[in-house]
Amino acid sequence: MSRQITCQPLIAAAFAPFGDVLDCEGDPDKIINAGLCGRYHDRAQMDFGDGRAGISVFNAQPRSLPYTLDLLERHPLGSQAFIPMSHQPFLVTVAPDEGGKPGVPVAFLTEPGQAINLHRGCWHGVLTPLSAPGLFAVVDRIGQGTNLQEVLLDRPYIVTA
């Protein structure tokens, strides 16, 4: 018997317990490049522990809503940022930690032009594009040690728009 969760808009305050929203909401922190660019400066709490930052490119298969969320994971050693390389919304699923296991997930639908940075150790669903191309730059930890903990849910969640 599956359980249902409904997507909500990706708003920084709602996402704050899980990570950072990267977008150009509001005024820029700095105007640079001869006044031709607004810089939204240093907007992510990145953490790579004893490793280093790496940038990888993910080419992920698009999924569709309603989406079956049956796996949650976390990276205990570092943060992970999903930065779309297309101007498309994508699905973000996260969950609070409850005694070392994920609690009830929360689903967000991004606006085009939004990216996210998952804080170190935040439970999340894997990168979930909703349209092609599923191209993303991913900034996460490169280093030794096991940086992936996965939980297969005995009862999946159905994520709806």
Ligand X SMILES: NC(=O)N[C@@H](O)C(=O)O
Residues that bind Ni ion (CB under 5 A): 80
Size of the site for ligand X (CB under 6 A): 5
Amino acid at site 70: D
Residue 94 contacts residue 122 (beta carbons within 8 Å): yes
Residue 138 contacts residue 32 (beta carbons within 8 Å): no
CA dist., res. 46 & res. 137, Å (int): 15
How do 123-124 and 115-118 pair as beta strands? unpaired
Residue 143 contacts residue 77 (beta carbons within 8 Å): yes
53 scored as a contact of ligand X (CB under 6 A)? no
Cβ closest to Ni ion, residue 28 vs residue 45: 45
Binding test (CB under 6 A) with ligand X, winner from 12, 85, 126, 135: 126
Residue 92 contacts residue 17 (beta carbons within 8 Å): no
Q: What's the closest the beta carbon of residue 30 comes to ligand X, in angstroms? A: 31
85 scored as a contact of ligand X (CB under 6 A)? no
Cβ closest to ligand X, residue 28 vs residue 54: 54
71 scored as a contact of ligand X (CB under 6 A)? no
Q: What's the closest the beta carbon of residue 65 comes to Ni ion, in angstroms? A: 20
- Enumerate binding residues for ligand X (CB under 6 A): 73, 80, 124, 126-127
